[in-house]
Structure 1
Amino acid sequence: MSRLLMDKLRAVESKTLSNGGAAALQTLLGDRDILVKLVGAAMDDDQIDKYLRQTHLHDNGFQKTVLWAGSSGVKIVLHIWPVQEQEHVEDNIHNHRWDFASGVLCGGLNFEQYAINPDGASCQALSYRSPGVSETYRIDHLGQVNVAVEFSALLAPGTQYAFSHRTLHRAWGMPGKLSATLVIQHPPAQQWTLVLPRGTQATGSAIELRRPAREQFMENLRQLASLWVDLPKDRCR
């Protein structure tokens, strides 16, 4: 990365820590050059193996790539929901270990926010711990919890939102469209994530991370580039 780009990314990191992710996200999305260069780096043949190691296929249906990580724990993360003919509605309700801000780049998201409610639906409650540098992660049973939808919306491209790490929610892409969001993650505020699966999930054993195949990874980035990012043509073929 160039010195200018690194200076811009450190400025985003500093603003996240001092003013919050929402303010930092506005700065990030207001400077198109940053995202062009970050996505372009992930598509570069000389760097693709590095970015594949920073990518996994999330159980909630999207490809998650860490585009940049600062020394403080702030991260810039790209989520891509590939084109699907049918709506993917198996996403688990969850919170996060970190506060975050997110912006919809293309496609759109179905979004639901939940609250603990004794009159709501009963769900299995699980704890999820980040794998870190490991190739496996673990989910453990906590008990049962009742939740109900507090807010729901269709988030169009250009929508920006920010939430506490405690906020229970779920989101999924639009059928027939590639959908993508850019996320600024704050440093972790807790050690584990609360997950409320749709149905019952086995717990207590190591689960392997799923990595995308190289071509699948590249194709998702190519489609994003064709919809949103003005990259050099030789990287968009």
Structure 2
Amino acid sequence: MTDTLASSAPAGHAFLRGITDSRPADGVVDLPWLRGAAQRVQDDPGTFLSWLEEILRNEESVRDAAKRSYWHPNGFAKMVLHASADFRIRLHVWPEAAEPSRGESNPHSHRWEFASTVIAGEGMHMVEYGETAAGGDLHTRYWYGVDPADPAALRRDGQARLKKLRAPHVRYGQVYSCDTEVVHTVRPIDASLTATLVLQGPHRSAKTVVYCLPDQTDDQPNGELTEEDFRVLVGSVVAAFDKRVSS
């Protein structure tokens, strides 16, 4: 999904100003800066909460954010709260369910660096992978962003075996960062409401890789996320985060 460069979030809020004003003097948004920006959420939770509340009170912000947000095929929401030329702020929400979500279950990389922090739920379970000549599990390899005629299409590129390199757990309040070389899967630790705030940098690569098991299809369309969905999801995160920081 393509994001516009106009921000949905109220630009004058102290939380967003603090992040924007802290950008490096050379204008290069890098991974250390993204980690620092994500850490601001935990260092000043009150200001962050008031920013989310201000977004919910602003009908234009809700409408614009909902237009460029969507439901992932595996049942969680990806919402863009702020978008500018050099960084974006996303909110990923896994609603409470009867059993833990599959999350982003296909190993994949990203065209941009990011840092994220868990703001609701127990945390996230990551598994990072690398290709191997022997052992591991066989996957079909796809590239995203390699077809000039259809940049959003996944193009098949043979098969590869993947081995697990490490499996970090990111608990509530912790920050996880990722560069463009990392291939990983992401899922909530448990079935409770789980949310992460993601600080995304600019594109560093024109393409990214996605791996699917041989019996899986690459045709997994996103679902529409309505304005009401946005209000309910962000509102639930506000309530959960407020309860956690107030206890």
Separation (CA, whole Å) in 1 of partners of 2:238 and 2:33:
28
1:233 is matched with: none
- Alignment pair present for 1:145 and 2:160: yes
What is the CA deviation profile of residues 19-58 of structure 1, one whole-angstrom value per residue up to 9, with x for unaligned ones? 4321232234423244224422442351211110121112
Structure 2 unmatched runs, 5+: 1-9
- Alignment pair present for 1:189 and 2:204: yes
Once the two structures are TM-superposed, the CA of residue 126 in structure 1 deviates from its matched residue by 1.1
- Alignment pair present for 1:105 and 2:114: no
2:34 is matched with: 21
1:10 is matched with: 20
1:125 is matched with: 141
Alignment length, in residue pairs?
A: 222
TM-score by length of 1: 0.81
Q: RMSD of the alignment, in Å?
A: 2.7
Indicate the larger mover: 160-169 or 213-222: 213-222
2:232 is matched with: 219
Indicate the larger mover: 91-100 or 18-27: 18-27
1:235 is matched with: none
Give the conservation status (yes or no) of the 8 Å contact 2:76–2:95.
Answer: yes
Once the two structures are TM-superposed, the CA of residue 209 in structure 1 deviates from its matched residue by 4.0
- Partner SS state of residue 103, structure 1: strand
2:4 is matched with: none
Separation (CA, whole Å) in 1 of partners of 2:163 and 2:182:
13
Structure 1 unmatched runs, 5+: 231-237
Alignment of 1:167-186 (within 5 A): 167-186=182-201
1:201 is matched with: 217
Q: Percent identity?
A: 21
Give the conservation status (yes or no) of the 8 Å contact 1:12–1:27.
Answer: no
- Partner SS state of residue 164, structure 2: strand
Give the conservation status (yes or no) of the 8 Å contact 1:110–1:155.
Answer: yes
